[in-house]
Amino acid sequence: MNENRWLNDIWSKLEVKMSAQCDRVGDRIPYIPVDGVYQEDKAETDMYWWTNGFWPGMLWHMYHATKEAKYKEAAEGVERKLDAALQGFEGLHHDVGFMWLHSSVANYRLTGNEASRSRGLHAASLLAGRYNPDGRYIRAWNDAFISWMIIDCMMNIPLLYWASRETKDPRFAAIARIHADSTLKHAIRADGSSNHIVELNPNTGEFVAAPGGQGYETGSSWSRGQAWALYGFALSYRHTGDQSYLNAAKQIAHYFIANVSLTNFVPLVDFRAPSEPRYWDSTAGTCAACGLLELAESVPELEKPLYREAAVHILQAIDKRFCNWNEAQDSIVAGGTAAYHSRNGDFGVPIIYGDYFLIEAIMRLRNQHELLW
């Protein structure tokens, strides 16, 4: 099928599926379906869960594209529920960007809602408060992890760039840039792959270790982490214009494209795991596709096709192999995996962020896209 026909076809299927899903799910907060049904509501089971912003993000993209009020109403319902997490505070973590960029900040960007702006600034202040000025990084997680930074955080710092633009206060963006510089120095390897976790001396910022994380083992190459790095540096380039971030995003992209092309454009959970058994993570693919499309917007005209075409190859491969367009069932993209060694119902299943990035990527390709990062 040629690209335009595929795009029109997948958009028609998305509209039907998201409309039905919005009617069923409304302002509950879905994560992973069981037997094609979103049974769990994270608003009831874990208000602080890091993925709680992806469903409202999907709804805001659909609202932007269709102007149907039901998407806005459901997204606003989720946003109000998330207030319990903002107020509760102690369960929060470095992933407040994922949670509030796609709920409150999306609302403010699309409707100008001042209460949503205030929630976004509140979340940005919490993220800025996690910054360690001696270590020069935003700390990951809570509890004993005072000396860890992780690659995922590159996707949260756009909340800080946004907050500086909104308030004209440069502190937020300064923290984001210093964290990105530390990530570039310590997490990105010479070949364009990335560590998931980096341990730094919290008093001096000196490198201590790079423990294994959600990938196969220490020193391996967790594909969603590579996708966070690719898209995260591309976004830091958009927000700062710093050429070193664009160079990093391109290098990480080349590494990602080289690896994913070995498996027909569907990513393995880890690019450096044993060749058998093969474990897939479609969510790394849909996220990387968005990063590649972001890069395509940032590079000169003659460089664009590499990134755009790689993104289309990945999306088409995932559509063919993993997308479920049955409107009576919840979720779209199967084959998502939270972590290489995880077996808690989050291995080889549909996960909400796989769907979020699919929708964003299709919107980008159709030039219907509103940036929510």
Q: Residue 226 is encoded by which pair of tokens?
A: 């590579």
> Residue 24: how many CB atoms within 10 A of its CB?
14
* Residue number of the CB atom closest to ligand GLY: 152
Q: How far is the CB of 129 from ligand GLY (least distance, A)?
A: 19
User: Rounded to a whole number, what is the largest CA-CA distance in the chain?
Assistant: 56
Is residue 153 close enough to count as binding ligand GLY by CB under 6 A? no
Q: Of these, 27, 152, 355, 360, which contacts ligand GLY (CB under 6 A)? A: 152
Q: Are 372 and 360 in contact (CB under 8 A)?
A: yes
Question: CA-CA distance, 143 to 145, in Å (whole number)?
Answer: 6
H helix intervals, 31-154? 42-45, 54-66, 69-88, 96-100, 106-111, 114-128
Please state at what angle helix 243-260 crosses helix 171-186, rounded to 10 degrees.
Answer: 50
Helix H or strand E encompassing 150: strand 148-150
- What is each CA distance from 274 to 210, 215, 217, 220, in whole angstroms? 20, 12, 11, 10
Q: How far is the CB of 354 from ligand GLY (least distance, A)?
A: 11
Is residue 233 close enough to count as binding ligand GLY by CB under 6 A? no
Q: Which residues contact 351 (CB under 8 A, 6 or more apart)?
A: 31, 32, 51, 283, 333, 336, 337, 338
Is residue 117 close enough to count as binding ligand GLY by CB under 6 A? no
Residue 73 or 346 with smaller CB distance to ligand GLY: 346
Q: How far is the CB of 50 from ligand GLY (least distance, A)?
A: 6
Residue 50 or 237 with smaller CB distance to ligand GLY: 50
Residue 24 or 272 with smaller CB distance to ligand GLY: 272
Residue 27 or 152 with smaller CB distance to ligand GLY: 152
Residue 120 or 213 with smaller CB distance to ligand GLY: 213
Site string for ligand GLY, 326-345 (x = CB under 6 A): ------------x-------
Q: How far is the CB of 340 from ligand GLY (least distance, A)?
A: 11
Q: How far is the CB of 324 from ligand GLY (least distance, A)?
A: 21
Q: Which residues contact 319 (CB under 8 A, 6 or more apart)?
A: 6, 10
Classify residue 42 as left (phi > 0), alpha (psi -120 to 50) or beta.
Answer: alpha
Is residue 319 close enough to count as binding ligand GLY by CB under 6 A? no
Is residue 355 close enough to count as binding ligand GLY by CB under 6 A? no
**Count of residues for the chain?**
373
Is residue 173 close enough to count as binding ligand GLY by CB under 6 A? no
Q: How far is the CB of 227 from ligand GLY (least distance, A)?
A: 9
Q: Are 271 and 257 in contact (CB under 8 A)?
A: no
CA dihedral over 65, 240, 168, 130, signed as positive or negative: positive
Question: CA-CA distance, 292 to 283, in Å (whole number)?
Answer: 14
Using CB under 6 A as the binding criterion, the count of chain residues that bind ligand GLY stands at: 5
Q: How far is the CB of 222 from ligand GLY (least distance, A)?
A: 9
Q: How far is the CB of 364 from ligand GLY (least distance, A)?
A: 21
* Ranges within 19-78 binding ligand GLY (CB under 6 A): 50
Q: Of these, 93, 119, 139, 224, which contacts ligand GLY (CB under 6 A)? A: 224
Q: How far is the CB of 250 from ligand GLY (least distance, A)?
A: 22
The residues that touch ligand GLY, with contacts defined as CB under 6 A, are 50, 152, 214, 224, 338
